[in-house]
Amino acid sequence: MMKREVTINEGLEDEMEVWGYRPCLWKMILVGVGALCSGGLLLLLLYWLPEWAVKGTCTHTSLREAHTLLLRTTDEFKQWFRAKVHVMLAPGKGPFDSVDLQTIVDLPNGDAVHTFSTVNEDLPEMCSHSQPIQIHYFTHHSTKYYWNDVKQGFVIYKGLEDLKLSCSDIHSDHSSGLSTKLQEYRRQFFEENEIAVRVPSLFILLIKEVLNPFYIFQLFCVILWSIQDYYYYAAAIVFMSFISIATSLYTIKKQYVMLHDMVSTHSVVRVSLCRGNKDREEAMSTDLVPGDVIVIPANGMIMPCDAVLIHGGTCIVNESMLTGESVPVTKTSLPGSGQDGTRTYNLEEHKRHTLFCGTYVIQTRFYTGELVKAVVVRTGFSTEKGQLVRSILYPKPTDFKLYRDAYLFLLCLVGVAGIGFIYTIVLSVMYKVPTKTIIIESLEIITIAVPPALPAAMTAGIVYAQRRLKRVGIFCISPQRINMCGQLNLVCFDKTGTLTEDGLDLWGIQRVEDGSFSPPEVDAAKETLVNTTFMACMATCHSLTKIEGELSGDPLDLKMFSATGWILEESTEEETALHNPIMPTVVRPPKQVLPEAHQNVKNSQNMELSELSLFEIGIVRQFPFSSALQRMSVVVRRLGEKRMDAYLKGAPEVVTSLCRADTVPDSFAETLESYTGQGFRVIALAHRQLESKLSWHKVQSLNRDVLETNMEFLGLIIMQNKLKQETAGVLLELRQANIRTLMVTGDNMLTAISVARDCGMIRPHERVIIADAFLPKDTQPASITWRYSENPAHLPDKNSQTVELDLEHGFRGNGQDQSYHFAVTGKAFAVITEHFPQLLQKLVLRATVFARMAPDQKTQLVEILQNVDYTVGMCGDGANDCGALKRAHSGISLSELEASVASPFTSTTSNISCVPNLIREGRAALITSFCVFKFMALYSIIQYLSVTLLYSMLSNLGDFQFLFIDLAIVLIIAFTMSLNPAWKELVRRPPPSSLISGPLLFSVLTQIITCLVFQVLAYLLVRRQSWYEIWTPQSDACNVSHTGLSHHHINVTSPVDHKNIRNYENTTLFYVSSFQYLAVAIIFSKGKPFREPSYKNWPFMLTCLCLYVFLFLIMLFPVPAIDNFLEIVCVPHDWRVTMVIIVIVNAVVSFMFETLVLDIILWRLVFSRDKQGAGRGTPDTPHQSANDRWGSTFLSWLFCQRTKAPRTHYRQLALELQDDPDWPPKPSTVTYASTPHTNVTVPM
């Protein structure tokens, strides 16, 4: 009985269950015998199925005693892995254990004891005095898992975070660095600090590639065909396989090399290590371990690890390698005192103090005699960069219904092959065929029913689509996701930089004077504002810096600062060295905008430095912008003044909550709503005068929360964020195609709603219901307040509308897509997720605007949408969208930075016009995959039928007949039919999503039956002809005068074709089946509405035309050389005409079934109704409506479709909500959380 498994990485994305095993001798002997008897096939099977390999050679044991581990992921893929358990010796059980460092034994090369696959026998003698501990571990996906006796399971040592240190502990206990011995000890557990992307040799890649089941099956086919002397076709398959393998090896090798080159730039660099408080030494970055202290040089460096800044240093960092955002970020030192100092260090929470591996430190700011230091937190694959590389090296399998259905369909073909296999054996035994022939022919039927060229043919459409995407500036690193793009029915958009322009223009400012707003002012740089606190806040509250003489930083900060006209000056390294305190960044107004009183002091001479410096302001300390806090602040000192000032800017709602109530105008809410309602982005400013006793040193250790309180509200900055020119048109195109669009932004709610209306995401007549959620407080439970963003009286009455149900995309009111939308803030989203989980899915079904969303909330939203069965696309500019871009089915980044590897698709055009292009190409590639799969399936079945009929008379198709069919017809057709470009517009009807669906099964089955009927008809008819006889080399059916004599001239001693290829049945079936391949190819190669019509695909049309002409010519006007080559025999002209009639009628019947019955009648009356809902579409006339209703009812009953429930979860929700009288919630009502699964809604 299987013992209870242990779960590792619990709650994480790579959660796995683990079982322990130890080798079993008798099982291994049995497997060895089985491998010998099967010719190695058993070993191949065990290679493909690791769980069978482990269970077949090992027995269960405890994890502590296991030699081999069996791992299974807990996600929907349930992947199996095996891992070998290794043992190493170390003085302690973990990297942070307290050990006697003198007992660490040095090996001859000077390094500490490192990992051993098995324990070295000589080592215990060397280490006997130190009593080394045996530590069991295994490696999986570049991560080491160590056995922990306390937890009785395997654990990962990530880094310094494992100690759960507070920020002050890092300053006090880990700021002096590690000794050499301690560093060597920790390196036993963390190994070298290197993100090692090993580029496998071509030989290893070749072995892995050829052991693919597809190539093994091809090898089996080639061996079988060679035994039967089908050398030409076998050689052709070998050639195709060689090209396929070579191409695959080149692509894989290239990807490995690119990834290796990408990470190698920071893998090995020289660093300056601190040993104690004073000692420093140069070392290689590969020697670093968590706890080491490194010095960040003034001229910057590429970070080789994750490290946290300490001792007051600041760094300007470019994090584009991780986020795709090229805007430099200011990193400050970790707080070491106050309330912030007591918090436990967390990489995510304290990321503004953390330098991440692979990011580029542009410059540092430091004190005289002091160094900018950082404590190493994580190394190697545990770093943020390492985790990103791991996700590229070991991606999750693509979960796409097409591929799952394709495997099921192939299993059906294998079943068909099994029937043919048994049929052939029974028939051959009845005719007393030699055993060798029985084996060969029965195996051959399998190679016919399952086409070896299927995967290559299906890949062609994706390759062509990828090339077309490249031409329009869309680059893809995950080609299999192109097909997924064809199924997108919901796309999430970031706002700033995606829907709207990247840059913000300053529309104006509105200051507060005497507790009320003054009129808006357009010019922020006029003289009268120079000496105001409002202007001082605009000039200082930012994180700008000068890089090579150019101002650099956040675009909003740049626009705000440039509007003031002030000048920013930073101290040089030489100036810093002359002073004790750090030289602050200084801002000052240009001389020409100073007040006249100061300019008139010396009209003819330049103003003295002492007079000019009266307006200079030094930035003493920065608290960088935090997306979680939605604000930033600075501490400044005006030259000549003793006391310091604090300035704050951020989201208006946040800033006012930190200000004294008497300083906030009464009209604040109305003023803010008037601006945000017009689509402006509004930023609030605040000021606080600090106590004069606060010294520079005290400010450096001041807690942010203490500083950012009791502020004075200064006013508003109004920024204009214009829609991109293409936005409205693209969103209209998506809406017309029934593709739902959402906005997910970090901006203000009302601004987001206004932009959503401007771009057409929300139309003028549609309601917007804002859901404000609140956490439980005292005895009051969590609640949601529902309010309308506009007065509902100005909008159509909900009760007067006829609401129809569109099962594909929810409600439709009066022919419109939606009648109302929800808008949710990030704060409300968090509360609803925790306290109202039963409402969450209902909410996202109708929510269109998500404002003030944090990056992790964007990812969470994508997951929720996927959980209700949406196929989700995400489009962002690369900043703060990386998680959502990776999580979505298809993420497209508008960032051109090559370093951004978070998104499967990257567009070189900086607008959302790439989205419909991607969906169009995805739909075309998806339909192409369906067409090719159906064609290849019919090809195998048609050939299977021909061979089965011929087997009944101990005949077969000839070698060159197989060659002509497989190469000249099938392969050329399969590759050229994939060349249809995408249709120029997105249609409302979605493409099919499954091979195992009504329309596709009907299509395939009707064509199979049609081909079967006409092949059997031709086979029976030819045997009933008056001239028919059992063909011999002396037969001459073409010459009617010899027909009567042919029976008398049969000589049993004449040489007869021992394979019985040449006969009338073979010739007839060869001609009929050849035309059937062409007929189904043309019928299946569909154009509109997802691809351009096939007549525009000239290679395909030319191929079909040439093949038709060639086949008609050799059938009606036989050429002896061609007949001999194809091993076909001469038949009377009348029979040739009969075959022409058969193939023409066959083509017409096939066309009628596919086009008239399926595309027109069934799609319109049955399948479209099931897919889109009964309320879809409006008939042209009452008579047509009655006919459609009658036909739909009858056919729905015939196909058992009448009561079929929607398959997707979001459609089921739409059905439920249609009958819910309390949904949507009425305005001015509150919903309270009463129990985990219920809620109560009451009027306010």
What are the residue numbers of the active site? 494
User: Rounded CA gap, 395 and 402, in Å?
Assistant: 19
CA distances from 1236 to 133, 833, 1225 (A): 49, 11, 19
Tell me if 53 sits within 8 A of 47, measured CB to CB.
yes
What lies within 8 Å, CB to CB, of 1015 at 6+ separation is 942, 945, 946, 949, 1069, 1072, 1073, 1076
CA distances from 744 to 484, 829, 851 (A): 21, 12, 6
3-class secondary-structure state, position 963: helix
DSSP SS3 for 13: coil
Neighbours of 548 (CB within 10 A): 7
> How far is the C-alpha of 686 from the C-alpha of 646, rounded, in Å?
8
Q: Where are the alpha helices (DSSP H) in 852-913?
A: 855-867, 882-887
DSSP-derived secondary structure letter, 498:
I
List alpha helices for 952-1063, DSSP H: 959-963, 972-976, 998-1023
For residue 692, give the 3-state DSSP assignment.
Answer: coil
Q: At what angle do helices 998-1023 and 914-951 cross, to 10 degrees?
A: 30
1154 in Cβ contact with 1006 (< 8 Å) = yes
Distances 845 to 86, 799, 1092 between C-alpha atoms, Å = 50, 21, 33
**Alpha helices, DSSP H only, in 265-363?**
320-323, 338-342
Given a contact cutoff of 8 angstroms between Cβ atoms, the answer to whether 1064 and 1037 are in contact is yes
Task: Write the DSSP symbol of residue 495.
Answer: I
Q: How many other CB atoms sit within 10 Å of the CB of residue 1175?
A: 17
* 1001, HSE (Cβ side, Cα atoms, 13 Å): 10
Q: Phi, psi at residue 309, to the nearest 5°?
A: -70, 140
342 CB neighbour count, 10 Å cutoff: 12
Q: How far apart are the C-alpha atoms of 111 and 106, rounded to whole Å?
A: 6
Contact (CB, 8 A) for 91 and 103: yes
Contact 589, 530 (CB under 8 A): yes
| Residue 331 CB neighbours (<10 A) | 27
How do 905-907 and 890-893 pair as beta strands? parallel
Count CA atoms closer than 13 A to 553's CA, side-chain side: 22
Rounded to the nearest 10 degrees, the angle between the axes of helix 1133-1151 and helix 998-1023 is 170
Spatial neighbors of 1165 by CB under 8 A, at least 6 apart, are 1188, 1191, 1192, 1195, 1196
Nearest to 851 by CA among 876, 883, 823, 830: 823
Residue 348, Cβ density class (10 Å: 0-12 exposed, 13-18 middle, ≥19 buried): exposed
CB 1081 within 8 A of CB 938: no
Measured between alpha carbons, how far is 64 from 611 in angstroms, rounded to an integer? Answer: 77
Query: Is the separation of the CB atoms in 560 and 587 below 8 Å?
Result: no
Dihedral in degrees, nearest 10, Cα atoms 206, 212, 217, 221: -10
